[in-house]
């Protein structure tokens, strides 16, 4: 399993956990009308949310130097392969710019982490992180991406937490982008094909289908047509 596949597995595992957690709302009846109306009128964004997004997009948190560093860092965390581009190609740095404005508590750890990258690079290689060779950039990241618990160093634990945060945000940004969705080969919800109860099970219980009824239900050419019944409960289509 290569690096991209490993990170994809990590992301899908965390995604599954998130979906389970979000399924715990017991007040579904009270929220459904509001959600439906928001989706119908604002494509999933209420006027308040849309105004906040516009406000955040009008601001700039990271400076030019920090954005250039993020472009390099994101591509190192999730590099391109023969089929898909890197996290930077997918627009993850812009995603991070939005996230730190929407979640201000992330601003200090990320900005501080970027400063640490430059400090480490200047100390070891006499140049800023973004100007260092890829080999030297990876050497710096390896100290926090794969820390040795038996050899504690000044980089731990704050710098390790910074890199873990950046890796998680990079994966989230990539796999929620258009490129990342294609990389996952996600096709959305699709109807299953139902061919009826197996014949051996029907025989075991001494029952059978009405030929006319089963022909309507199992005709796969009609799978996109919604079923309809007459006033007496008879299946029409």
Q: What share of the chain is helix, strand, coil (3-state, %, to 5)?
A: 65, 0, 35
pTM, full prediction: 0.64
The residues, ordered by sequence, that sit 6+ positions from 220 with a Cβ below 8 Å of its Cβ are 193
Candidates 114, 212, 102; CA nearest to 166 is: 114
Q: What is the token pair recorded at 153?
A: 């160093």
The residues, ordered by sequence, that sit 6+ positions from 127 with a Cβ below 8 Å of its Cβ are 121
Question: b/e map of 172-196 (b: 16 or more CB within 10 Å)?
Answer: bbbbebebbeebeeeeeeeeeeeee
The residues, ordered by sequence, that sit 6+ positions from 62 with a Cβ below 8 Å of its Cβ are 70, 96, 97, 100, 111
What is the C-alpha to C-alpha distance for residues 140 and 127, in angstroms, rounded to an integer? 12
CA 82, 143, 6: angle at the middle one, nearest 5? 35
Query: Tokens 């019944």 map to which residue?
Result: 229
Going by the DSSP 8-state scheme, the letter that residue 173 receives in this structure is H
Question: Could you tell me if 196 and 218 are in contact, meaning their C-beta atoms sit under 8 angstroms apart?
Answer: yes
Q: What is the token pair recorded at 206?
A: 């001494």
What is the tens place of the pLDDT at every residue in 88-135? Answer: 999 999 999 999 999 999 999 999 999 999 999 999 999 999 999 999
Q: What local confidence, expressed as pLDDT, does residue 123 receive?
A: 95
What is the tens place of the pLDDT at every residue in 158-214? Answer: 888 999 999 999 999 999 999 999 998 887 776 666 777 888 998 999 998 888 877
The residues, ordered by sequence, that sit 6+ positions from 45 with a Cβ below 8 Å of its Cβ are 38, 53
What is the C-alpha to C-alpha distance for residues 65 and 201, in angstroms, rounded to an integer? 68
pLDDT band at 24 (very low <50, low <70, confident <90, very high): very low
Q: What local confidence, expressed as pLDDT, does residue 20 receive?
A: 38
pLDDT at 35 over 80: no
Going by the DSSP 8-state scheme, the letter that residue 191 receives in this structure is P
């Amino acid at each position: 399993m290569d690096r991209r596949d490993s990170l994809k597995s990590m992301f899908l595992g965390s995604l599954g956990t998130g979906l389970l957690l979000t399924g715990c709302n017991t007040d579904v009846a009270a929220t459904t009308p509001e959600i439906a109306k928001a989706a119908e009128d604002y494509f999933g964004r209420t006027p308040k949310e849309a105004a906040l997004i516009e406000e955040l997009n009008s601001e700039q948190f990271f400076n030019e130097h920090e954005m250039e560093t993020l472009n390099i860092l994101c591509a190192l965390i999730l590099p391109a392969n023969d089929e898909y581009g890197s996290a930077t190609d997918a627009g993850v740095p812009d995603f991070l710019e939005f996230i730190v404005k929407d979640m201000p508590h992330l601003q200090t750890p990320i900005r501080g982490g970027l400063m640490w990258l430059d400090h480490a690079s200047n100390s070891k290689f006499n140049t800023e992180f973004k100007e260092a060779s890829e080999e030297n950039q990876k050497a710096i990241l390896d100290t926090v991406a794969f820390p040795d618990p038996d050899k504690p160093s000044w980089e731990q634990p704050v710098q390790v937490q910074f890199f873990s945060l950046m890796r998680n945000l990079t994966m989230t940004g990539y796999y929620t982008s258009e490129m990342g969705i294609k990389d996952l080969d996600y096709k959305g919800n699709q109807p299953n094909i139902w061919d009826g109860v197996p014949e051996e099970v029907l025989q075991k219980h001494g029952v059978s289908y009405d030929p006319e009824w089963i022909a309507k239900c199992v005709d796969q050419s009609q799978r996109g047509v919604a079923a309809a019944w007459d006033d007496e409960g008879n299946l029409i289509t």
